[in-house]
Amino acid sequence: MAERPPSPGESIARRAAALASDMKANDILVLDLRGVTDMTDFFVIASGTSDTHVRAVAEHIQAGLKDGGVSTTMTEGLTQGRWALLDYAHTVIHVFHPTLRQYYQLERLWGDATPVPLNTEATQGAR
């Protein structure tokens, strides 16, 4: 496989995963979508344990990235808390309520994507 071009999305994805872990999100996964789709370079997928937890995780990620100078291009679902989507152009972050994550199964839908190994410190409590 050819080497993938660098993407500003990778650092955003890794930081978002660490921020999700800070909030005790479950099943944090980063997928490298370069070469699979032109839509974005990375997906970050995580689960909260309730609507309130989903909102809190997504808001923490958004605030943490904004503190680092990175702002979303689009946000959806934050007020409902069932599925929050944060779009950073090169990285799209999905924080799901567990029942919706199981229903949509983005990991299977994007099965050709390469999972990004995360350091264990960044994802403690993630699984």
More confident residue, 4 or 64: 64
Q: Domain ranges in the chain? A: 9-115
From the list 56, 63, 101, 61, the residue with the least C-alpha distance to 79 is 56
Identify the pLDDT of residue 4: 67
pTM of the full predicted structure?
A: 0.88
What span, in angstroms and rounded, lies between the C-alpha atoms of 38 and 76? Answer: 20
The mean-pLDDT minimum among 14-23, 47-56, 75-84, 113-122 falls in 113-122
pLDDT at 2: 54
- Residues 103 and 120: their CA atoms lie apart, in Å, by 27
DSSP 8-state code for residue 89: S
CATH topology of domain 9-115: Beta Polymerase; domain 2 (3.30.460)
pLDDT of residue 120: 53
Residue-wise pLDDT tens digits, 5-64? 678 899 999 999 999 999 999 999 999 999 899 999 999 999 999 999 999 999 999 999
Q: Which amino acid is at 51?
A: D
Q: How far apart are the first and last CA of the chain?
A: 30
Please provide the average confidence, as pLDDT, over all residues in the chain: 89
Residue 127 has a pLDDT of: 37
